[in-house]
Amino acid sequence: MAMRLSRCHNIADLRRMAKRRLPAPMFHYIDGGSDDEWSLRRNTTAFDDYELMPNYLRDISTVDLGTTLLGQKLAWPVFLSPTGMSRLFHHQAEPAVARAAQKFGTFYTLSTMGTTRIEEIAAQGTGRWMFQIYILKDRALTAEFVERCKAAKYQALCLTVDTALAGNRERDRVTGMVMPPRFTLKSFASFAAHPRWAFHLLMNPDCQLANVAHRVGGLSQSTVSLIDYVNGQFDRTVTWDDVAWLVEQWGGPFVLKGIQSPGDAKRAAEVGATAVMISNHGGRQLDAAPAPVDCIAPIRDVVGDQLELIVDGGVRRGTHVIKALALGANACSIGRPYLYGLAAAGQPGVEHALGLLRAELERSMALLGCRTIAELGPGHVRRVRG
């Protein structure tokens, strides 16, 4: 029997629905990590090392989830992190995710590796837009991105720093994940078992990286592995001096994504960053890197109020968000949860994912005895393991 959104009661249910809807290579590209996938698993299980301490007999007749991040008022302290090539998972692609984020009053972050142009996301409405950027070997292309984001009135820029080269994503090699998707003897059975997905791919086969194709050549010219392609674009010579240059070029709210150590967070503040996304790239880069939730308190102790802290990785429940905020984070960002929703049902699936998390957050805030995000603090969380 076909699974429906109405039967998806949590993010895990959406994951199962996405697995049914996608060919194996596409699903495992979302779902997989690097090496033994220890960090991938740890990102979520680390939240189990913390318990919440409620306070009762408080007036919780109203709960306000609103907050301010990167100079923007958000309806709740969760936003959508950058994920590459959303067109692979549903034909509505990045615009569907952007519209859902706008509806829920939060940031959508477009990836450099997205299949939608910077300007097309801006055209979706008056949302809160962030662009995720790399300092590429072609510095002129990096500078072009900055100017295009300024012209399109993006509110923030996010530099990913943990991808000097791609992690060892063995699942992609096992499943034969290539760009663009093509029908081969190896992939035919999986594609044939998912006719709806295959039909939309045949009707609209353009899976190019929309913001870089004009400079590096369209991927449609040849079939290469994702890992080989990504490795060819990243620059191993990037240093803090390059980050300072990009901060100056942008001149607005600036996020460093991939920071995990207090020392790097301190350097981020020194070069002018507004915030850091505490992230190990969803467990897709260095395996055995720490879970983001475990990095919050040590980083906050070092940077104080100099930086906004965003936890990126492992969030699957509203209580996860509460634990992160109580430990000192300003917000959380999610990737896989909304991709599961996108793969399951397009924009309605993304909205369902966001609705589930927001409802969980609001309910758990009330059960904790907190009426506003500002009321959350260290007294609401306690480490019980580790």
Here the tokens at position 145 are: 């991105």
258: left (phi over 0), alpha (psi -120 to 50) or beta: left
pLDDT band for position 194 (cuts 50, 70, 90): confident
pLDDT in tens, 87-110: 999 999 999 999 999 999 999 999
Question: Residue 202 burial (CB < 10 Å; 0-12/13-18/19+)?
Answer: exposed
Mean local confidence (pLDDT), 147-152: 98
Q: How far apart are CA 137 and CA 102, in angstroms?
A: 33
* 276-279 own/partner pairs: CB under 8 Å, 24+ apart: 276/307, 276/308, 276/309, 276/310, 277/81, 277/158, 277/310, 277/311, 277/312, 277/333, 278/309, 278/310, 278/311, 278/312, 278/313, 278/329, 279/81, 279/162, 279/312, 279/313
Helix axis angle, 292-303 to 262-270, nearest 10°: 50
Q: Catalytic residue, from 28, 90, 281, 380: name it.
A: 281
| Res. 355: pLDDT tops 90 | yes
Tell me the Cα Rg of the chain: 20
pLDDT band for position 226 (cuts 50, 70, 90): very low
Q: How far apart are CA 245 and CA 242, in angstroms?
A: 5
Residue 214: active-site member = no
pLDDT in tens, 304-328: 999 999 999 999 999 999 999 999 9
Helix axis angle, 139-151 to 240-250, nearest 10°: 30
Q: How far apart are CA 303 and CA 362, in angstroms?
A: 29
Q: What's the chain's length in residues? A: 386
